[in-house]
Structure 1
Amino acid sequence: MKRKQITSNVKEYTVEEQIELLPYLLKVMSKSSRNSVKSILTRGQVMVDGQMTTKHNQPLAPGQKVEIQSNKTAINVSKLVGVSILHEDDDIIVINKEAGILSVASEKEKDQTAYREITKYVKRSHPENRIFVVHRLDRDTSGVMMFAKNEETQQALQSTWNESVKERLYTALVEGKVRTESGTISSWLTENSAFRVYSNPTDNGGQHAITHYRRVQANKDCSLLEVLLETGRKNQIRVHMEELGHPVMGDKKYGATGNPLRRVGLHATALSFLHPRTGELVRFEAEVPQIFITRSK
C-alpha cells in the first residue's frame, strides 16, 4: 500500500484494490484495535478523495485517496461555523461555504466570514499560520471555494488562474421552466455606480462573458441547471440567467420575483484546476443542496 504524510496531522494512503472502507482502515492501521479504528471513522476523521465520510461499507477503488486526520485536527474542523473543509494539504485549503457567509470582510461588513473561520482554524495548529485569498464567492452563493496557505501559492494560482482552472461548474435553481435543454450565453458585462452589472450583446468596452448551461430537471415553476463558466466575471451567472428570462431564484437584484428558498439559488458545485505544486489535475466537489433538487422535481 502507498502511504504519504501530507502534514503532521494527516496521513494519506492510495488505494490499490477494490475494498470497503472499514476493512481498508483496519489493514492500514493494523496496530490499532478494531474499536479504535471504528471510532476514528465515526468521529469524522476519515476523508475519501477529499470528502469526509463515516460509512463503514463505502466502496473504494484503486487510485482513490484516503486521508486519516488526527483527533486534534478533527476537533478543529468540528469547531468551524458556516464552512466545512473538503481538502487540505501544505499549499491549499478547499472549503464548502454555506450561503449567507461572506467570503472576505469588506470595509462596511465586519460579519463572520469564511476567511475568518479558516484563519482561526489554521492558527489553532500554529499562531503564525495564515491563509491567502485566491478567489471569492458571493455571500448568498454556497459551494466550493479555495484559499492558499502561503503567499507563493496564492500568487501562482492568481497569475495563472485562466490557464490553471479547467472547470468551474455551478448549479443554479432558476425561476420558470427553461425550454431548451442546453445553450450558451455570450455578452459583454459592465458595472454601474450602484454596483449592478448589465449585459450587452455587442462589444461596448465591457468584459466578455461566456456561460454554458444544461437543464437537469424542471417543473412549471422552476428549473435546475448545470452552469459551466468559460469566463469568470462578477455576477456573470446571475446576469446571464436574467438575460435568459429565468432569473436565479431569490436573486431580486437580477429579476427574481420571490425568495422561497430564503437564499439565492446558486451553488458552486465543482472546481477543477492544476495543483500549483504538483501540476496534477485535481477536482473538488460540494454536494448540491437538497432543496434545489426537491423543489425542481
Structure 2
Amino acid sequence: MFIKKFKFFVEKYQKTIRIDKFLRKSIQNISRNQIQKATTSGKILVNQSIIKKNYKIKPFDIVEAEIFYPPILDSEYKNIIAENIPLNIIYEDEDIIVINKTAGMVVHPGFGNEKGTLIHGIKYHFKNNHQLYRLGLVHRIDKDTTGLLVLAKNEYAQKYLFQQFFSKTIQRKYLALVWGNIQKKEGTISGFIGRDPNNRKRMTLFQRNFSRSRYSVTHYKVLEKFKYLTYVSCNLETGKTHQIRVHFKYLGHPLFNDSTYGGDKIFMKKYLSKKSVSFFKDCLNILKRQALHAVSLSFIHPQNGKCHFTCSIPEDLKTVIQKLRNKFL
C-alpha cells in the first residue's frame, strides 16, 4: 500500500458541494470507499482542520487529502500475452529498466490497442520475474512520441519512483519542433489541462480549474529558429496527458505534424512560395508524427543515488532539423 497526498485551493467560483463529490471530481480514479476511509481516519483536512464526511466545501477553502492506494498486483495483467517485441533498452539492473521508446508504440494496452504495446514486450522480457507490480509502469509517453521511459522491476522500486513523480523531483527534458517563430528566448506555460468539450480525443488548456482538469506547468527554452519553425527544449514540472502538445497549441505554436492539434497543416501557407510549400511537405513526409522526443531523464535510483540518462535524437527528427538548418541558417 502507498499514499498519495493532494492539496487543492478552492476557487471563488466553486459551488458549495459535499467534500466527497469535490474530491471525486478533483482526483482521477478514486473511489467513494477510499474517500470514506480517508475521512473517517482524519486524513481529509479543510483549512488544516479534520472534517466530517458531510462537510460542504466553500470558496477559498484549502483542502488537503492523504489517499491510501492498495498495491495492484501483476495479476491485473494475467490476460496479457507476452510478445517478443524489440525494445531499445539503454540501461537495466535489478531495480529499474530504462527504454528508448520508438515512434508508433503504445505504452499500455487499451481499447484499439490490445496487442503490440510496450507492456506486451515488457511482459516477455520479464517473463521469469513473478514479483512485478503493474509490470513496473510509473509513467507514460504518447504513442508517437519517442524517447526515455523508466520502469520499475520490483514493488519497492516502483513506490520509490512513483513518489518522485508525485513530488515532482524527477527531471524530464523533451525536444520539440513547433510551428511559428517564438519570440521569447524562454518561458513558462501553465494552466489546467482537461478534456476538450468539443473533441473527447483531445485535451485543452483552461485558465480556471474546471471539472476533472489538472494543473500543469512546462518550462521551455528556444534552441534554434528556422523562420517558420522553432526548435525548443522543454522541462516538465508536471506530467499531464498531452501536456507539451496542448501547451504549445495554446500558445498558437502547435507541434510540427501533430495531427491531433493542427500541426499537420503548413503554418501560414498562403504567405509561402510554392517552393517553400513543397519543402515543408517533404519535411512532413519525412517526420510522419508529432515532433516530440523525450531526450533525458534524471531521478534518484532506489539503491544507487542520483542517475541521469540521455538518448539520441531519432533519425526522422534529426533529418528534418538538418534540412531546416541547410535552408534557413
TM-score range, shorter chain: 0.5 to 0.7
Contact persistence 1:218–1:296 (CA under 8 A): no
Residue type matched to 2:291 in 1? G
Structure 1: unaligned runs, 5 residues or longer: 1-78
Instruction: Tell me the CA shift for residue 293 of structure 1.
Output: 2.8
| Equivalent residues of 2:168, 2:238 under 8 A apart | no
Q: Deviations along 1:41-85, whole A, 9 cap, x unmatched?
A: xxxxxxxxxxxxxxxxxxxxxxxxxxxxxxxxxxxxxx752x311
- 1:127 deviates by 6.5
Q: Distance in 2 between matches of 1:219 and 1:231?
A: 28
Please give the TM-score of this superposition, normalised by the length of structure 2: 0.60
| Corresponding residue for residue 42 of structure 1 | none
Aligned-residue CA RMSD in angstroms?
A: 2.1
How far is the alpha carbon of 1:295 from its aligned partner?
Answer: 4.0
**SS at 1:153 equivalent:** helix
Kindly indicate whether residue 105 of structure 2 is the aligned counterpart of residue 101 of structure 1. yes
Contact 1:223 1:296 in 2 (8 A): no
Larger radius of gyration: 2
Q: Does 1:142 align with 2:146?
A: yes
| Counterparts of 1:198 and 1:155, CA distance in 2 | 30
Q: In the alignment, what sits opposite 1:71?
A: none
Pair 1:115–1:296, CA change in 2 (3 A): farther
Q: Tell me how far apart the structure 2 counterparts of residues 166 and 154 of structure 1 sit (CA, whole Å).
A: 13
Identify which of 168, 172, 175 aligns with 1:171. Answer: 175
Distance 1:295 1:246 in 2: 20
Q: How many residues align?
A: 215
Are residue 198 (structure 1) and residue 224 (structure 2) matched?
no
Q: Which of 269, 274, 292 is equivalent to 2:300?
A: 274
The answer to whether the 8 A contact 1:174-1:224 is kept is yes
- Whether 1:223 aligns to 2:241 is no
Contact 2:85 2:120 in 1 (8 A): no
SS at match of 1:95: strand
* Counterparts of 2:178 and 2:306, CA distance in 1: 31
> Where do 1:52-91 residues align within 5 Å?
81=86, 83-91=87-95
Amino acid at match of 1:269: V
1:246 positional shift = 1.0
- Between the aligned residues of both structures, percent identity stands at 33
AA aligned to 2:289 is R
Per-residue CA deviations over 1:128-168 (Å, capped at 9, x if unaligned) read 47532111110000000011111232223223423363311
Counterpart of 2:245 (choices 220, 225, 238) is: 238
**Are the aligned partners of 1:157 and 1:164 in contact in 2 as well (CA < 8 Å)?**
no
Structure 1 stretches of 4+ moved >6 Å: none
Q: TM-score, normalised by structure 1?
A: 0.66
Aligned to 2:311: 286
Which amino acid in 1 is paired with 2:189?
Answer: I
Cα deviation, residue 221, structure 1: 3.0
**Contact between 1:84 and 1:96, CA under 8 Å: does it hold in 2?**
yes
What is the distance in 2 between the residues matched to 1:129 and 1:207? 32
Q: Residues 164 and 299 of structure 2 are in contact (CA less than 8 Å); yes or no, is this contact kept in structure 1?
A: no
Distance in 1 separating the partners of 2:131 and 2:206: 44
Contact 2:178 2:254 in 1 (8 A): yes
Q: Secondary structure at the match of 1:165?
A: coil
1:221 maps to amino acid = Y
1:207 aligns with 2:214: yes
Greater Cα shift, 214-223 or 156-165: 156-165
How far does residue 187 in structure 1 lie from its aligned partner after superposition? Answer: 1.2
- 2:323 and 2:232 map into 1 onto residues whose CA distance is 13
* Residue number in structure 2 paired with 1:188: 192
| Letter aligned with residue 230 of structure 2 | S
Structure 2: segments with no counterpart, 5+ residues: 1-83, 266-283
Matched residue SS, 2:122: helix
